[in-house]
Structure formats: structure tokens, C-alpha cells
């Protein structure tokens, strides 16, 4: 089996292909810091699709010619963990110089572009260089959706394949399908939270937060609800902290005028205190979503983890990234800025999820084709023979 490297890991690996946050048992060392555990979902899911013997990290923060020459000799390929790398603020450190010296393939494993609310996406020369070096090293470059493919096409990169995200395929089930039970049988729901948002990508912060608040309250009024955080410090403290940390976290939230005006009313505060979930271990999120009847909300990978485990999920889209994911997989989705209220009954429709089921099977095939054409030893199940389709 292969000896492989990863650029931009997100957590420590244990038991070969499982991921948890660094020094996860020492919660006090990082409870004050934000890290998006959704990135660890992607890393964990990527490893579960690959056959490999050894995994190490390719450093891009410095250039060590002797080390790179050794890696060229000892490893088969390096993969770039799928994430939102193609945006105006991306810092690649010394990646261009490292990749110029690297001779083994660099597999872009579901990377994506982020469009600003207004104006044209402007990319640094380093970003353009890195993307072209990756594309030149492999048969194809894997992106999450059509918008990302178009951005790369505008850079002259033509060998692009739309492969979605490894998180969707983490259980390696090409026949996965969402089947809705009667809505009156739904008892438990997870709401994936994204309280923090940038005005660079979300066009109306007040609408974003009030819609978020109303979703949390509506689900809590109807179901046994779990609020699913993915790493904001205050939410982590409310889920896992000491009584003193929990009190400090709530005080910090209340110190924000936007929170008390648009988001944190008495009911939401009670839910934050009593129904919050957070973990630094990916497997614990998977156990949670497997036990829920419904997951919906603002988190890309929290929702996708649910779908990957057969739990119905509905996306709330608010930027190009969330729209692109929903479009790639044809996931039922709600446009936060449409001006319309959300009614769950409108989305609890098997025909909506049948569109997801069909898209999932198609993108699963694209992901496997991508790995095969790049000679990546993988665990994905072959589909029936059909013409390969690339999307440029």
C-alpha cells in the first residue's frame, strides 16, 4: 500500500484513519481557541477512502531541499485536504517553492473557491501558482462544485473534475439513499450552528442572525433538539467547560450588541446552556448524527456528516460555498436571504431527497474516477461501466 503525505492536516490521526483534535484530552490547552472541527471531518473522511500504509505531513512553512528530496524518494503522492483555499486572503506560506521542488503528484481532494458578496474574486499570484503546479502534477484536479471549476477554468486550468467532498462518502456506500419517515415520527433534531459570519460573504448579517435564531427556536419548540457547535470558543465552553468557564462564555456572548439584539433571547440562552454539543473527536459527531432523526442548519460539514450516515438534512445557504455544496449534491436547501419564512413541511418531501440520492450516486462515481485516473489506491466501490465525464 501507498506511503502518502498530506498538506494542511486538521487534527491528529489515531487507529490508522481516525482523526481528533491535537492534544484533544487536554481540553484546557485549547478551549479558549477557535478551530473548525469540520476541517477534521474532511481529513478523517479523506483517509477513510484511501488505501495507505504510512501517512506523514508535508510542511509548507519552510523550504528544506534535503527533506523534500527524501520525500520524493520515499512517498507516492501528497494530497491537499479539501477546504476553502481559493479566496482573496489565502496565505500559502512557502508552498510555491516547496511544490516546485516536489516531484510526486499533488492530489487536490475537493478544494473550493469562495466568492465575495460583491465584486470580482481576486486571487494572489501565490494562489494561482499553487493551483497550476497542482494541476500540472496530476491527471485531474478535484473541486467541490461548478463555481470552483469555473474559477479554475478562468485561470487556464482545464483538467478539473467536480468531486464534491470526501465527507459525503466517508462510509463508502455508493447506494446510500435518504428515505424520509412520516414527519410525525421525527422526535429528535440537530441544528448545526454558525453564529460567527463575515460580512464579506454574507450579504445581510442581521437577517442571517435573526433567521438563525428563529430556526433554533422553531426546532426546539417541535423536537428534542441538540445544538451542534463546530468550534467557536463560547459554544465549546458552554458544552464542555467548568461552571466558571460557562458563566464567562455566556457573559462574553451577552457583551455583543448584535447577540442581544438579533440572536440571544431568553429561549436561545436556555438552549445554549442546556442543549449544546461539541467534541474534538470526529467519531463522536458521527455517533451523534446517527442517533438523530433530522439534522439541519448552517454548517456545511455538520450537515454533510448527517447525510453520509443516512440522516435527512437540510442546508441553509448564505454564501457561494454553501450554495455550491447544495448544488453539487442537489441537497434540499433554504436561501437565508430569499425573504421567505422556513416551513419544514415544504422540505419534508421525498422527491426533494430523491434528487439528492441520484446526485450522490453520480458524484460518488466522479470521486472514484478522480482517484483512479490519478492512480490513487482507494477503497471506493467501482460502478457499472460508463463513459467518464470531466467537467472543465
What was the pLDDT predicted at 301? 94
- pTM of the full structure: 0.95
Q: Are residues 169 and 191 in the same domain?
A: no
Q: Are residues 18 and 73 in the same domain?
A: yes
First to last CA, the chain: 31
Q: Are residues 118 and 199 in the same domain?
A: no
Q: Are residues 71 and 158 in the same domain?
A: yes
Range of the domain at 39: 2-173+361-373
Q: Are residues 112 and 188 in the same domain?
A: no
Domain of residue 305, CATH code: 3.40.50
Which stretches in the chain have pLDDT values below 70? 383-392
What was the pLDDT predicted at 291? 98
Question: Would you say residue 84 lies in a domain?
Answer: yes
Question: Would you say residue 387 lies in a domain?
Answer: no
Question: Would you say residue 282 lies in a domain?
Answer: yes
The whole-angstrom separation of Cα 335 and Cα 317 is 5
Burial 185-224 (b: 16+ CB within 10 A, else e): ebeebbbbbbbebeeebbeeeebbbebbbebbbbbbeebe
Q: Are residues 188 and 91 in the same domain?
A: no
Q: How many residues does the chain have?
A: 392
Q: Are residues 9 and 141 in the same domain?
A: yes
The whole-angstrom separation of Cα 304 and Cα 297 is 11
What was the pLDDT predicted at 196? 83
Query: What's the structural domain count of the chain?
Result: 2
What was the pLDDT predicted at 389? 42
What was the pLDDT predicted at 382? 87
Question: Would you say residue 159 lies in a domain?
Answer: yes
Question: Would you say residue 385 lies in a domain?
Answer: no
The whole-angstrom separation of Cα 378 and Cα 58 is 20
> Is there a contact between 285 and 308 (Cβ–Cβ < 8 Å)?
no
What was the pLDDT predicted at 22? 96
What was the pLDDT predicted at 242? 96
3-state secondary structure the chain: CEEEEEECCCCEEECCCEEECCCCCCHHHCCCCCCCHHHHHHHHHHHHHECEEEEEECCCCCCCHHHHHHHHHHCCEEEEECCCCECCCCCCCCHHHHHHHCCCCEEEEEECECCCCCCCCCCCHHHHHHHHHHHHHCCCEEECCHHHHHHHHHCCCCCEEECCCHHHHCCCCCCCCCCCCCHHHCCEEEEECCCCCCCCCCCCHHHHHHHHHHHHHHHHHHCEEEEECCCCHHHHHHHHCCHHHHHHHHHHHHCCHHHHHHCCCHHHHHHHHHCEECCCEHHHHHHHHHCCCEEEECCHHHHHHHHHCCCCEEEEECCHHHHHHHHHHCCCEEECCCCCCCCHHHHCCHHHHHHHHHHHHHHHHHHHHHHHHCCCCECCCCCCCCCCCCCC
Q: Are residues 57 and 8 in the same domain?
A: yes
Question: Would you say residue 217 lies in a domain?
Answer: yes
Q: Are residues 165 and 19 in the same domain?
A: yes
Q: Are residues 345 and 274 in the same domain?
A: yes
Q: Are residues 116 and 258 in the same domain?
A: no
Question: Would you say residue 379 lies in a domain?
Answer: no
What was the pLDDT predicted at 384? 58
Q: Are residues 153 and 255 in the same domain?
A: no
Question: Would you say residue 72 lies in a domain?
Answer: yes
The whole-angstrom separation of Cα 140 and Cα 386 is 18
Amino acid at each position: 500500500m501507498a506511503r502518502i503525505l498530506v498538506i494542511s492536516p486538521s487534527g491528529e490521526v489515531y487507529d490508522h484513519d481516525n482523526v481528533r483534535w491535537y492534544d484533544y484530552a487536554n481540553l484546557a490547552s485549547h478551549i479558549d481557541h477557535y478551530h473548525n472541527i469540520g476541517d477534521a471531518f474532511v481529513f478523517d473522511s479523506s483517509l477513510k477512502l484511501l488505501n495507505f500504509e504510512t501517512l506523514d505531513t508535508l510542511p509548507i512553512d519552510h523550504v528544506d531541499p534535503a527533506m523534500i528530496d527524501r520525500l520524493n524518494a520515499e512517498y507516492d503522492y501528497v494530497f491537499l485536504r479539501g477546504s476553502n483555499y481559493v479566496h482573496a486572503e489565502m496565505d500559502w506560506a512557502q508552498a510555491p517553492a516547496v511544490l516546485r521542488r516536489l516531484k510526486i503528484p499533488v492530489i487536490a481532494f475537493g478544494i473550493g473557491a469562495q466568492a465575495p458578496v460583491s465584486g470580482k474574486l481576486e486571487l494572489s499570484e501565490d494562489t494561482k501558482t499553487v493551483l497550476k503546479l497542482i494541476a500540472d502534477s496530476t491527471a485531474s484536479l478535484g473541486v467541490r462544485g461548478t463555481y470552483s471549476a469555473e474559477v479554475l477554468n478562468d485561470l487556464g486550468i482545464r483538467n478539473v473534475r467536480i468531486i464534491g467532498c470526501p465527507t459525503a462518502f466517508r462510509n463508502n456506500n455508493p447506494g446510500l439513499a435518504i428515505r424520509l419517515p412520516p414527519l410525525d415520527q421525527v422526535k429528535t433534531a440537530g441544528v448545526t450552528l454558525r453564529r460567527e459570519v463575515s460580512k464579506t460573504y454574507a450579504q445581510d448579517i442581521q437577517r442571517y442572525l435573526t433567521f438563525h435564531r428563529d430556526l433554533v427556536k422553531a426546532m426546539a419548540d417541535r423536537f428534542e433538539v441538540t445544538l451542534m457547535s463546530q468550534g467557536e470558543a463560547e459554544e465549546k465552553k458552554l458544552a464542555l467547560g467548568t461552571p466558571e468557564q460557562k458563566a464567562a462564555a455566556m457573559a462574553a456572548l451577552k457583551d455583543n450588541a448584535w447577540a442581544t439584539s438579533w440572536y440571544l433571547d431568553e429561549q436561545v440562552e436556555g438552549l445554549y446552556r442546556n442543549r449544546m454539543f461539541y467534541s474534538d473527536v470526529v467519531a463522536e459527531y458521527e455517533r451523534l448524527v446517527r442517533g438523530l432523526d433530522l439534522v439541519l442548519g448552517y454548517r456545511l460539514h455538520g450537515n454533510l456528516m448527517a447525510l453520509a450516515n443516512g440522516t435527512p438534512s437540510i442546508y441553509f445557504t448564505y454564501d457561494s460555498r454553501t450554495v455550491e455544496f447544495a448544488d453539487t449534491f442537489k441537497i434540499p436547501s433554504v436561501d437565508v436571504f430569499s425573504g421567505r419564512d422556513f416551513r419544514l413541511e415544504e422540505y419534508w418531501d421525498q422527491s426533494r431527497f430523491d434528487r439528492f440520492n441520484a446526485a450522490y450516486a453520480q458524484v460518488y462515481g466522479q470521486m472514484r474516477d478522480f482517484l483512479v485516473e490519478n492512480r490513487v489506491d482507494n477503497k471506493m466501490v467501482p460502478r457499472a461501466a460508463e463513459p467518464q465525464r470531466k467537467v472543465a
